[in-house]
Amino acid sequence: MFTRSELEALTLQELKALCLRYSVKPTGNAGYKVSYITSLMAFPEIAVSQFRQDKGIKSPSFASIQSIGEALDEMREPTDEQMALIRISLEGRRMEYPQRYEQERVYTLYKVKLLLSEVVNLLSQ
């Protein structure tokens, strides 16, 4: 991540900006560069260690991933006409009210299906 020499070359303001960018708190007295340098060098290892200890973010269970897959199966595939409606929606064309609500619902459900598929693929890696 960061090397000590790389961080020591920065000013106190630049170190503060880096800590602010990554939401890292300085260790010890915030008036010294070493407080920021220590935190910026340590946070990647601390984050990985916390992950290994099952603190913070964690992977969902296999059963949870299967549930997402079942939801995807339940959503099925759009028909040719629905796919055409989705494509024209992507071009910004809208139906008149009240059908516009259903058009938006079809388009939204399709986006949800794509995102859920991506979620399953990412979690399966």
Q: What pLDDT is stored for residue 106 in this prediction?
A: 98
DSSP state of 27: S
d(Cα 23, Cα 25) in Å, to the nearest integer? 7
**Token reading at 74:** 């339940």
Q: What pLDDT is stored for residue 125 in this prediction?
A: 87
Residue at token pair 């090397």: 3
**Token reading at 14:** 């630049």
pLDDT digits (tens, 9 = 90+) for 83-107: 999 999 999 999 999 999 999 999 9
Q: Where are the domains of the chain?
A: 4-52, 62-123
pTM of the complete model: 0.74
**Token reading at 78:** 């759009």
Contact 117, 72 (CB under 8 A): yes
pLDDT digits (tens, 9 = 90+) for 7-52: 999 999 999 999 999 999 999 999 999 999 999 999 999 999 999 9
- Nearest residue to 69 via CA among 29, 18, 118: 118
pLDDT digits (tens, 9 = 90+) for 47-88: 999 999 999 999 999 999 999 999 999 999 999 999 999 999
Residue at token pair 């079942």: 70
